[in-house]
Amino acid sequence: MNSPYLSFNQFLKATFGERVQKIPLDAGLGCPNRDGSKGRGGCIYCDHRGSGTGAAAQGLSIRAQMERGIKWVAKRYGARLYLPYFQSFSNTYAPISVLEKLYCEALDFAGIVGIAIATRPDCVTGDVLEMIGKVTNGRMVWMEYGLQSASNETLERINRGHTVEDFIQCVNMTREAGFLICAHVIFGLPGQGKEEMLDTVRLLADLGVQGIKFHNLYMLKSTKLFQMYKKRPFPLLKQGEYAELVAKAIKILPKDTVIQRLTGDPPPHAGQARPLWSHDKHRTVKLIREELART
């Protein structure tokens, strides 16, 4: 089936000539919005486990995670090329010497075409980017930055701990380093109007980021957001509304923007995350494709 947008798989295959499979990694790093450097408790939608595999808590080293991941994707997909993906929490939030060791461990395998590093825009320095350039030695680098919203009012409301200006500064610095940039955005945050959501995407288009990940807001029972919702419910996006918004957003972006994700996935420990349609990823993607075909 022809995709109405440039997917990450398509981008990687066009770049390297064959399938490239991401290997998600958990380095066991923290977040300045949890340990008191920027704030306590983290973003209101994030629970104590954060995102990712939880492999670090199981005592698995980056090397062990890579070995396990490569074995699985080689068997499942027949993949021979791999992209280590530092996913959990803020993966530039540690001393440079620690980060360098972690990245080098992930890169030290046959078939590695580059690296993807998810982090916060206020956790990146020129020295860190310089080190990443050195250890990757010309291979592909995707820096993934959580923006969530282009409204400072919304960022303050969700206790994000950084500003839109922090994000813009980080994007400019990363562009100068020659790396690819993927921005994370969330649709449906409390107090967020539909035009604000689309304004976030307009900013990303203006900045020329190369990739984007769309996430629908979902609430885990263990989060501050869910407790707030119980006390004073706010409107939640319906599945069709979300699909329509993502389709409009994709139309705003340049056609060569890599759409790395269309919707979020509640983690396995989430139980019945609200809204319940968050668990039906297949239908959400189908609705987005239908909206794109219609518009």
Our count of domains for the chain comes to: 1
Is residue 16 in some structural domain?
Answer: yes
Is residue 215 in some structural domain?
Answer: yes
pTM over 0.85: yes
Is residue 220 in some structural domain?
Answer: yes
Contacts of 76 (CB under 8 A, 6+ apart): none
Instruction: Write the CATH number for 204.
Output: 3.20.20.70
- Predicted pLDDT at 46: 86
* Structural domain for 274, as ranges: 6-294
The pLDDT-based confidence of 284 (bands split at 50, 70, 90) is very high
What are the tens digits of pLDDT across the range 265-274?
A: 887 766 778 9
pLDDT at 53 over 80: no
261, two tokens: 């994700």
More confident position, 99 or 33: 99
Phi and psi for 214 in degrees, rounded to 5? -90, 135
Is residue 49 in some structural domain?
Answer: yes
pLDDT at 79 over 90: yes
What percent of the chain is predicted at pLDDT more than 90? 84
- Predicted pLDDT at 40: 81
Is residue 143 in some structural domain?
Answer: yes
Is residue 1 in some structural domain?
Answer: no
Measured distance CA(41)–CA(37) in Å, rounded: 11
List the beta bridge partners of residue 119: 145
Q: What's the whole-number mean pLDDT along residues 63-90? A: 96
The pLDDT-based confidence of 52 (bands split at 50, 70, 90) is low
What are the tens digits of pLDDT across the range 107-154?
A: 999 999 999 999 999 999 999 999 999 999 999 999 999 999 999 999
Q: CA 274 → CA 77, 142, 231, 281, distances in Å?
A: 32, 31, 15, 13
The pLDDT-based confidence of 35 (bands split at 50, 70, 90) is confident
More confident position, 30 or 22: 22
Backbone angle region of 138, left / alpha / beta, with phi > 0 → left and psi within -120 to 50 → alpha: left
Helices 96-107 and 62-77 sit at what angle, rounded to 10 degrees?
30
The pLDDT-based confidence of 86 (bands split at 50, 70, 90) is very high
Helices 239-252 and 194-207 sit at what angle, rounded to 10 degrees?
30
- Predicted pLDDT at 42: 86
pLDDT at 237 over 80: yes
Residue 84: asked if its preceding bond is cis (omega within 30°), the reply is: no
Is residue 75 in some structural domain?
Answer: yes
The pLDDT-based confidence of 206 (bands split at 50, 70, 90) is very high
Is residue 95 in some structural domain?
Answer: yes
- Predicted pLDDT at 38: 81
What are the tens digits of pLDDT across the range 241-261?
A: 999 999 999 999 999 999 999
- Predicted pLDDT at 37: 84
The pLDDT-based confidence of 16 (bands split at 50, 70, 90) is very high
The pLDDT-based confidence of 170 (bands split at 50, 70, 90) is very high
What are the tens digits of pLDDT across the range 213-231?
A: 999 999 999 899 999 999 9
